[in-house]
Structure 1
Amino acid sequence: MSTNAPAIVWFRNDLRLADHAALNAAIEAGRPLLPLFILDEAAPDRWAMGGASRWWLHHSLTSLRQSLAERGGHLTLRRGDSVAIMTEIAGQTGAAELFTGGSADPWARRVEQAVADGFGGKVARMRTSTLFHPDLVRTKGGGAYGVYTPFANACLALGGPKPPLPAPTEIRAAKPPRSERLEDWDLLPRKPDWAGGLRDTWTPGETGAMERAEAFLEHAMRGYAAARDRPAGDGTSMLSPHLHFGEISAVQLWHMAHRGSGGKGREIFIRELLWREFCANLLWHHPDLPEAPLKREFANMPWRDDKPALAAWQQGRTGVPIVDAGMRQLWRIGWMHNRVRMIVASFLIKHLMIPWQEGEAWFWDTLVDADLASNSGNWQWVAGCGADAAPYFRIFNPVLQGCKFDADGDYVRQFVPELARLDSRHLHAPWQAPADALEAAGVRLGETYPNPIVDLAAGRERALSAYADIRSSG
């Protein structure tokens, strides 16, 4: 077949040009390129793309389109069924080869296979979103890892991923087929426009990802070990949405982190990258991870159907300041500090006894870094029902967590301004504050700020009792 027949580069969760194995292989094939992104919205309703992710996708595609254009390429945008669109475009253009990255998402894997089965030419599926292929990291018996530390050690024993590929300087473009207008996809909010906090916080796209990575690795890495647990500071990388959309690769970050001397901070950062890898590995081998507990006895947990409590949690109106601060941060900027994610998840699952799947679904809709593997893996970890999970009887005390990691109260004051004037000694448990302290701060419990929706001690005992029951019945 003539080398003038184009090659399709199917972008998915790898919206970048640097370290893109599929794009690089397509260029090496010597064919004119047809870069393509398909907005396929046929995913199961529960896992349809949330509003925050749609906002991010719009801006990420804008960035990718510009980057391709600067190198002579053209991004074709189509919306609908991936198989039908790929068949149509291949037929119209005579495309001889298809290059694409992979995903651990079970629905995306089914779509990928269906597209490959229907494509008339050569299909090359490359690794673009993880450090290693999930089937490469196996136990000595050939099985999948279920515990993080042996998994991480196995990854480290591989010697690290190969150096990242450079971005192409020029793209030989094929004549593009019909493309839709990104603006017609309605990915951005209309009225009310709730995305102001997202615009103020994030710069989606490959350039924004690299700028954030460089700033973090240059200025914050040395203090990362201690600063990453303090939500009021700027101690975390905040790279998770860029990683999810593939605007920067885990491989790039791995090698960037190994520049110079990183000390303890670098070691912890690499372990965080490997935790992300672990979650992707879990989803690859357990496609029902987003829906069903890995520890099957947790299917018998006597969860509560408490819609008012769930709504209070979602809105940041639980009466527990560190929980409310986290949930309001999530709503404002589409992201929440990792330490606080654990606190709010523990509160929902254990103090309120509301199923972890409800929290997982809310995060999916509101996070700009809503990654199916990390989201489901982390919620199962907190719930105690996943791989290498925190024991169910490990129940975060949100008051103690707030006092320890937000001792000055700066985080709570930022996101729960109705408590801003309350003395730090009382900030994380205002229901225990003396009446004169509340009055001086202008706080009227039950009016300006809610009373706690659950007694923390009683909620803890209820959770422990439920856990003991399913263990004894199992």
Structure 2
Amino acid sequence: MRSLVLFRLDLRVADNPALTAAAARGDVLPVFVYEPDSYGSAAKWWLHHSLTALSQDLGGLVLHSGDTLTVVQSLVADHDISAVYWNRRYDPAGIASDTRLKSALGETGIEATSFPGNLLFEPWQIKTGSGGPFRVFSPFWRACQRHDPPALPLTRPEFSNIAPPADVAALGLLPSQPDWAAGFGPLWSPGEAGATERLDDFLNTDLTGYKTGRDRPDQNHVSRLSPHLHFGEISPRQIWHRTQHHCALRSGDQQDAEKFLSEVGWREFSHHLLFHTPSLPDENLNRKFDVYPWMDNADQLRAWQTGQTGYPLVDAGLRELWHTGYMHNRVRMVVASFLIKHLRQHWRHGMEWFWDTLLDADLANNAASWQWVAGSGADAAPYFRIFNPTTQAQKFDPNGDYIRTWCPELAALPNKWLHAPFEAPASVLSAAGVTLGGSYPAPIVDHKAAREAALAGYDAVKSHAV
């Protein structure tokens, strides 16, 4: 009996329930259908390399671009397929596409089965006391921890693959003329093997001190697993159980591990929100924010996107993003707050930029996190919490290592002035070779004035009745 396995954001062989089920039936035809709208520009680079690795791991992979239903129906007929298996998606477009696929296949007598393979818990499993979805993270995560533990990961199945080697280059995923992703290669190892190695390195080297060190962009206490997890090269339950096993051997890491797993929990919460509120990427979860007086300044938006705001920590983060496809999580919060609350640009502008430039761009995480910063989402940051980018830099990059890496034109400034060069005496700037408005931009907004304008805008939200 022949089964078709439809891969999407589950590009792994181990702990892949759909593949395991198909392998138990007989021959397997692994298939990936490329849907261009599902990926930002940076993510396409990762996808190319992840599909290449997957094809090698599987021993072959059928690649197509286009409408999933049309492609699958054609392959079912051409290869005498009797069952189609896949792991579930939870975004609105994915749910609609898979529902349509399951219905159409069922009408023709083809078995169509979906499996839980991409979350620790299905979004409908975790409920409030009244049986509804959660809107606040902490009680959500406590409910997850009270639930039965995630199942043990499945081992790598043995199977007969009837697919030829994949011609991934034919999808045209890599940038050219110019190759703006040239710096990505030395930093990342897409694929299942790279994901497993990254998790092991993190647990053995960088987990200790994670609870506090994760806020320091000048240190290595971060997992950098997010692209691997987004593309499903490693499953959340593999991460969960591998981390628990590590703590059993090294109990001193327990608090750091709990904090790390709670970040995996934020991913769960984001998918929970998106599943229960499909409009999350498009509309304020709190509709009172519909009246917020957003600004529309293309020049300031472009300055933010290119790391030319005049605030070193903000600029460093956005330059890191452009050159590596990644941004440290603490810095993500600072740059997001700056766009929303200093420049008063709609959170969707930031979400769209992150979608196109992040290797780990995930619809649920992206939408939930931007709305959290804006104050319009679930478990939202207080509207009056407006990060001061200077004090944030002084606290979390005290020696300026992160800023000097990504804003080298400021490297010669003493630490006293590095975080706010616009406050430095002219003589200090001259000695460091810094010209505000020349070698480095002057601030595009004044922090105090921007903060007051943002709070005035939030006053309109507070007084608005929905």
1:12-69 CA-to-partner distances (Å, cap 9, x unmatched) read 00000111111111122x221111100023x4xxxx5211100000000000000011
Say which of 30, 39, 42 aligns to 1:52. 42
| 1:458-473 to 2 correspondences below 5 Å | 458-473=449-464
Task: Tell me which residue corresponds to 1:66.
Answer: 56
Q: Is contact 1:78–1:180 with CA below 8 Å preserved after alignment?
A: no
Residue aligning to 2:99: 113
C-alpha RMSD of matched pairs (Å) = 1.1
Aligned equivalent of 1:351? 342
Paired amino acid for 1:15: L
Matched residue type, 2:48: H
The Cα offsets for residues 160-181 of structure 1, whole Å up to 9 and x where unpaired, read as 201111112x31223x48x873
The match for 2:168 is: 182
Which letter maps to 2:23?
I
Q: How does 1:38-437 map to 2 (within 5 A)?
A: 38-41=33-36, 43=37, 48-69=38-59, 74-119=60-105, 120=108, 121-168=110-157, 170-174=158-162, 176=163, 181-259=167-245, 260=249, 261=251, 262-437=253-428
Distance 1:185 1:203 in 2: 20
1:8 aligns with 2:4: yes
Secondary structure in 2 aligned to 1:421? coil
Per-residue deviation, 1:184: 1.4
Query: Aligned pairs, how many?
Result: 457
CA contact (8 A) 2:187 2:324 kept: yes
Deviates more, 1:102-111 or 1:398-407: 102-111
Are 2:1 and 1:37 aligned? no
Q: 1:122 offset after TM fit, Å?
A: 1.1
8 Å CA contact 2:412–2:433 kept in 1: the answer is yes
**2:446 aligned to 433, 455, 458, which one?**
455
1:77: Cα distance to partner? 0.7
One-letter code aligned to 1:275:
W
The CA distance in 1 between the partners of 2:231 and 2:441, in whole Å, is 37
Residue matched to 2:21: 25
Contact 1:418–1:448 (Cα < 8 Å) also in 2: yes
Percent of aligned positions that are identical: 47
Cα deviation for residue 314 of structure 1 reads 0.1
Q: Which amino acid aligns with 2:18?
A: A
C-alpha deviation, 1:111, in angstroms: 1.0
Residues 3 and 29, structure 2, Cα contact 8 Å, conserved in 1: yes
> Following the alignment from structure 1 to structure 2, what is the Cα–Cα distance between the partners of residues 171 and 31?
7
Unmatched runs of 5 consecutive residues or more in structure 1: none
- Where 1:196 maps in the other structure, the secondary structure is coil
Contact persistence 1:384–1:390 (CA under 8 A): yes
Per-residue deviation, residues 128-154 of structure 1 (Å, max 9, x unmatched): 111011111111211100110110011
- Cα distance between partner residues in 2 of 1:276 and 1:52: 20
Distance 1:390 1:447 in 2: 36
Tell whether the 8 Å contact from 1:222 to 1:264 is kept in structure 2 after alignment.
Answer: no
Partner Cα distance (1:274, 1:236) in 2: 15
* Counterpart residue identity of residue 33, structure 2: I
Single out whichever of 258-267 and 360-369 deviates more from structure 2: 258-267
Which amino acid is 1:51 matched to?
S
d(CA) in 1 for partners of 2:235 and 2:69?
A: 27
Corresponding letter in the other structure for 2:74? E
Deviations 1:346-384 (A, max 9, x none): 000000000000000000000000000001010000000
- The answer as to whether partners of 1:364 and 1:370 remain within 8 angstroms in 2 is yes
Separation of aligned partners in 2, 1:86 and 1:468? 53
TM-score normalised per structure 1: 0.95
SS at 2:114 equivalent:
strand
Whether the aligned pair in 1 keeps the contact of 2:291 and 2:460 (CA below 8 Å) is no
Deviation at 1:159, TM superposition (A): 3.2
State the one-letter code of the partner of 1:324: D
What secondary structure sits across from 1:199 in the alignment?
coil
CA–CA separation in structure 2 for the residues paired with 1:101 and 1:399: 45
SS in 1 for 2:221: coil
Which is further off, 96-105 or 449-458?
96-105
Q: Which residue identity is paired with 2:233?
A: E
Q: Equivalents in 1 of 2:452, 2:300: separation in Å? A: 18
Contact between 1:222 and 1:263, CA under 8 Å: does it hold in 2? no
SS in 2 for 1:232: coil
Q: Any idea what SS the aligned residue of 2:445 has?
A: coil
* Residues in 2 aligned to 1:275 and 1:254: alpha-carbon distance in whole angstroms: 13
1:400-419 alpha-carbon deviations (Å, 9 max, x no partner): 00000000000000000100
Q: Which piece of structure 1 moves more, 104-113 or 440-449?
A: 104-113
Q: What is the CA–CA distance in structure 1 between the aligned matches of 2:32 and 2:391, rounded to whole Å?
A: 47
Bigger shift: 429-438 or 365-374? 429-438
Q: Name the structure 2 match of 1:445.
A: 436
Q: Provide the rounded CA distance (Å) in 2 between the counterparts of 1:352 and 1:456.
A: 10
TM-score normalised to structure 2 length: 0.96
Write out the 4+ residue segments of structure 1 that deviate beyond 3 Å after TM superposition: none
